């Protein structure tokens, strides 16, 4: 009998593209053929190609899934990964309401100097100014790892959300300069537990949350953190076992 590897090569590769919730059903009443045509048209418009390849990436089949997601079949795993990585560039061309989550890469910077006047805008501007590999809008957001500020430390580790995988790899290997001090880069190891930052339940992310109202991380009531009247900055575990008991 043929080996498993040989059999797997005959199977088409596939990828699930998850859309953010929409009031309108995505690709409503569209046949698989229509979805394939729309997606391939979008891929052609962005000149979808693998590195060192002249062939345009095309999908071979499609299926609509519950929750505004679609399953796309491709000729290879490399094409499936490429389609997933570039989903923000083509999804709305295929369907105006097919809005996908921003593809974010996460990387850690160690020994970042903690300044009293650290502001998001100024911090990102400094990174752009002092590092040739960082351009405007490359850094989407950042946060401290742990609470080095409250612990009165002079340096701390910082988690950066960056735009693409190539930049994340460069930062991991080469680090960055901030305040004219060198900060070593490292790979970010995601925690095993997934928690939604909208309802605070464990097991799903905010983009797939079905809760009608947010849960405040500060007091546990049904409102956004920005609307909370409590001034204490220390969050509480509103989903912990002790509170449920």
Mean residue pLDDT across the chain: 83
110 and 73 belong to one structural domain:
no
Q: Where among 31, 63, 94 does a domain terminate? A: 94
Rounded CA gap, 67 and 209, in Å?
11
Full domain range(s) for residue 244 = 191-245
Q: Provide the CATH number for the domain around residue 129.
A: 3.30.70.330
Check pLDDT > 80 for residue 38: yes
Clarify whether residues 202 and 145 are in a common domain: no
Q: Is residue 99 part of a domain?
A: no
Q: For residues 202-222, b (16+ Cβ closer than 10 Å) or e, as one string? A: eeeeeebbeeeebbbebbeee
CATH number of the domain within which 60 lies: 3.30.70
Same domain, 218 and 164: no
183 with 195, same domain: the answer is no
Q: Rounded to an integer, what is the distance from CA 9 to the centroid of its chain? A: 30
Same domain, yes or no: 138 and 168: yes
pLDDT tens-place string over residues 108-148: 999 999 987 677 788 889 999 999 999 988 888 888 888 88
- The residue ranking higher by pLDDT, 13 or 26, is 13
Q: Are residues 130 and 183 in the same domain?
A: yes
205-233 pLDDT, tens digit per residue, is 777 788 888 888 778 888 887 788 877 65
Residue 185 has pLDDT above 90, yes or no: yes
pLDDT number for residue 86 = 87
């Amino acid at each position: 009998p043929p080996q498993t590897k040989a059999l797997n090569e005959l199977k088409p590769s596939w990828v699930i593209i998850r859309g953010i919730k929409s009031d309108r059903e995505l690709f409503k009443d569209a046949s698989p053929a229509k979805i394939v045509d729309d997606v391939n048209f979008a891929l052609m418009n962005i000149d979808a190609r693998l590195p060192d390849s002249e062939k345009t990436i095309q999908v071979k089949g499609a299926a609509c899934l519950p929750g505004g997601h679609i399953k796309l079949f491709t000729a290879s795993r490399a094409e499936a990964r490429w389609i997933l990585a570039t989903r923000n560039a083509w999804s709305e061309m295929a369907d105006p309401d097919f809005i996908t989550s921003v593809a974010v890469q996460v990387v850690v910077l160690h020994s970042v100097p903690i300044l009293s006047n650290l502001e998001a805008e100024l911090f990102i501007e400094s990174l752009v100014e002092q590092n040739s590999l960082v351009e405007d809008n490359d850094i989407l957001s950042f946060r401290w790892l742990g609470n080095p500020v409250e612990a009165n430390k002079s340096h701390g580790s910082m988690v950066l959300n960056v735009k693409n995988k190539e930049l994340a790899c460069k930062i991991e290997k080469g680090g960055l300069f901030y305040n004219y001090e060198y900060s070593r880069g490292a790979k970010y190891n995601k925690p095993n537990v997934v928690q939604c930052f909208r309802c605070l339940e464990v097991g799903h992310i905010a983009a797939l949350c079905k809760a009608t109202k947010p849960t405040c991380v500060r007091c546990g009531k049904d409102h956004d953190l920005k609307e909370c009247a409590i001034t204490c900055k220390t969050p509480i575990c509103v989903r912990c076992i002790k509170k449920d008991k």
